[in-house]
Amino acid sequence: MKTIRVSVIGFGAVGQGVARVLIDKKDYLEKMGLDFKVVAVADSRTAVIDDNGVDLSSVLVRKQNEGVVGSEKITGLEIIETIDHDLVVETTPTNIVTGGVGLQNMLAAFKHGRDLVTSNKGPLAMKYCELIEAARAGGSHFRFEATVGGAMPVLNLAKDVLAGNTITNVEGIFNGTCNYILTRMTEEHAPYEQMLAEAQELGYAETDPTYDVEGIDTACKLVILANCVFGMNASHEDVTITGITKITPEALLLAQNEGYAIKLIGEVNDSRINVSPKLVPIDHPLAVGGSLNVASVQTDLSGPITVTGRGAGSIETASAILSDMISIYRD
Amino acid sequence: MRVSMDIELKDIPGQLLLALRPVSELKGNLISVVHHHEKRTPRGSIPVQLVFEIKPDKLNDIVSSLEESGIDIVRIDEKRFFEHGAVLLIGHIVHTDIQDTIDTIDKTGYAEVVDLNLSMPKINMASSASLKIDAISKEHMESAIALLREIAKKKDLLVIEPIKSIGVA
């Protein structure tokens, strides 16, 4: 049995999802010879530390009831720097202006030679090359499948599974909120504002939806794809972005009459990184509805490979993190 | 442009070569030749269908060359546009002179707006339009859409194009 000492930094929806899957998959992981022992959990205000392994179930209950994970006043960054462990699971919220605490956490983890798995796309969209270099210098494994497309495998698909292929183009729907709003506008023939309000009520959209509906979230994911899959050194200023706020129900109807759906499509290839609403033939694999994500990877040897799945959600995103954790330590 | 032509050949050796030579000499691109040897016409000649691509200004030369060789031309069909594309516009489409928007595409000579559906919900609200564009080739379609993108930028219209993996067809 290989024991891996883990810290979970950030305990919002994704961090809690990671705790749940680690509890649920304990036997499964043991059969693989892996024991992920969580020695520290931190949220934005508190932390809980136990060298013998934190009881994740009681941390989840405490977070639910009291809104905090513990009583220790130690920050995530301090945990990364001072507590002896192997792997940091970084699930703090995304900040694309400064990189937020996530960036500091990641750099500190690599400085101390710890491996890192993250769902936080902000730092990667801003400082990709710097982070990759820091991980290399620290001898750290660094995986971030959860940053693009949630449960839907894209990065590992393009990098590992399709190894040997040259990827010439990736396009798809990388934001479930926009897909939900556009799908519902088409179904109800309702204006954007009304379906945004519905999405907010159902928790699919944030109170301030700018990040999603203006295409910024999609742009960040494209930057990660561009850097990771196409070997570029891009940041989100390199993306041309048009959001969905100007889409009218009439346009959706006209498109439908011509056999198209309108989707917010992100596209990366050697010549451009672009986010904009596009016409997708309704029988095309990219025309998925609801809040689904989809990506079509164009390869030289295999032609197009299309994957679709849930792009967000606590357990779904945690599944991508778990798969990264396993792939680091399996062999 | 692509031309489809029905001709009739005398049943003597060398006639087919005689018919194809002007196409190649005038730098045409032969797409298909169907030689109906078994379907003789009442006049005893052999019907042949040719399809080729040629610059529009060279077609007359081909026709005269065939006629000089004594080949009967039964029918000529030209088709200019092979690419069909759809594009959506959103914004103040009418107030920003829709005629001008269409003319800019039509004036290119390589692409035309062939259909327009307009939806205007209320005065002062953005309208939406679907445009169908025909173009000579894929490259010409891309240029036409690029041109439309430029006009739209000036007129503050949103252009919604088809995704890349289906091209612009």
Q: What is the pLDDT of residues B144-163, one digit of tens each?
A: 999 999 999 999 999 999 99
- Domain hosting B127: range is 83-166
B41 and B60 inside one domain: yes
Residue that finishes a domain, picked among B47, B79, B111: B79
Q: Supply the CATH number for residue B35's domain.
A: 3.30.70.260
- Sequence-distant (6+) residues with CB within 8 A of B61 are B22, B26
Question: What pLDDT score was predicted for residue B165?
Answer: 67
- Using an 8 Å Cβ cutoff, are A156 and A323 in contact? yes
**Which chain B residues are within 8 Å of A194, Cβ to Cβ?**
none
Active site (catalytic) residues of A: 221
Planar angle of CA A263, A268, A272, nearest 5 degrees: 110
C-alpha B26/C-alpha A124 separation (Å) is: 57
Longest dimension (CA), chain B: 73
- Contact at CB, B91 and A255, closer than 8 angstroms: no
**Which chain A residues are within 8 Å of B166, Cβ to Cβ?**
281, 284
Q: Which of A245, A250, A296, A306 to mutate to test the interface with B (most CBs of B within 10 A)?
A: A250
The nearest CA of chain B is from the CA of A83 a distance in Å of 49
Q: Does B119 touch chain A (CB under 8 A)?
A: yes
C-alpha A105/C-alpha A77 separation (Å) is: 5
Residue that finishes a domain, picked among B56, B79, B102: B79
- Using an 8 Å Cβ cutoff, are B2 and B61 in contact? no
B68 and B96 inside one domain: no
Q: Supply the CATH number for residue B134's domain.
A: 3.30.70.2690
| pLDDT at B167 > cutoff 60 | no
Longest dimension (CA), chain A: 62
B49 and B92 inside one domain: no
Planar angle of CA A205, A208, A211, nearest 5 degrees: 80
Q: Which of B93, B156, B158 to mutate to test the interface with A (most CBs of A within 10 A)?
A: B158
CA A180 to chain centre: 18
| pLDDT at B169 > cutoff 50 | no
Ranges in chain A, pLDDT < 70 = none
pLDDT, tens digit, for every residue of B67-97?
998 899 988 887 777 788 999 999 999 989 9
C-alpha A251/C-alpha A189 separation (Å) is: 10
Which pair of tokens denotes residue B37? Answer: 């040897």
| Closest by Cβ to A279, choosing from B117, B129, B163 | B163
- Contact at CB, B162 and A247, closer than 8 angstroms: no
B32 and B52 inside one domain: yes
| Closest by Cβ to B165, choosing from A171, A246, A276 | A171
Question: What pLDDT score was predicted for residue B166?
Answer: 59
| pLDDT at B100 > cutoff 90 | yes
- Contact at CB, A254 and B117, closer than 8 angstroms: yes
| pLDDT at B168 > cutoff 60 | no
**Which chain B residues are within 8 Å of A304, Cβ to Cβ?**
165
Residue that finishes a domain, picked among B16, B48, B79: B79
At B109, the pLDDT band (50, 70, 90 cuts) reads confident
The beta strand positions in A153-212, using DSSP E, are 167-173
pLDDT, tens digit, for every residue of B5-46?
999 998 888 889 999 999 999 999 998 899 887 888 888 889
The nearest CA of chain A is from the CA of B149 a distance in Å of 13
Q: Does B163 touch chain A (CB under 8 A)?
A: yes
Q: Which of A258, A264, A268, A306 to mutate to test the interface with B (most CBs of B within 10 A)?
A: A258
B128 and B149 inside one domain: yes
**Which chain B residues are within 8 Å of A169, Cβ to Cβ?**
164-165
The length of chain B is 169
- Using an 8 Å Cβ cutoff, are B77 and B15 in contact? no
**Which chain A residues are within 8 Å of B153, Cβ to Cβ?**
none
* CATH superfamily placement of domain A155-310: Dihydrodipicolinate Reductase; domain 2 (3.30.360.10)
Question: What pLDDT score was predicted for residue A268?
Answer: 96
Please state at what angle helix A314-329 crosses helix A13-24, rounded to 10 degrees. Answer: 60
The nearest CA of chain B is from the CA of A221 a distance in Å of 18
B133 and B104 inside one domain: yes
Question: What pLDDT score was predicted for residue A220?
Answer: 95
- Contact at CB, B128 and A254, closer than 8 angstroms: yes
| Closest by Cβ to B166, choosing from A248, A257, A284 | A284
B8 and B45 inside one domain: yes
B89 and B30 inside one domain: no
The structural domains of chain A, with segments of one domain joined by +, span 2-151+314-329, 155-310
B28 and B95 inside one domain: no
* Integer CA distances (angstroms), A258 to B36, B69, B90, in order: 40, 48, 16
In this structure, whether the domain defined by A2-151+314-329 belongs to CATH 3.30.342.10 is answered with no
B49 and B116 inside one domain: no
Question: What pLDDT score was predicted for residue B39?
Answer: 82
| Structural domains counted in chain B | 2
The nearest CA of chain A is from the CA of B59 a distance in Å of 35
* Integer CA distances (angstroms), A180 to A152, A264, A310, B88, in order: 17, 11, 12, 20
- Contact at CB, B121 and A248, closer than 8 angstroms: yes
Which pair of tokens denotes residue A134? Answer: 């820091």
**CA distance between the termini of chain A:** 12
C-alpha B28/C-alpha B43 separation (Å) is: 29
Q: Does B124 touch chain A (CB under 8 A)?
A: no
pLDDT, tens digit, for every residue of B127-147?
999 999 999 888 889 999 999
B111 and B161 inside one domain: yes
Which pair of tokens denotes residue B65? Answer: 């060359």
Nearest to A206 by CA among A178, A236, A239: A178
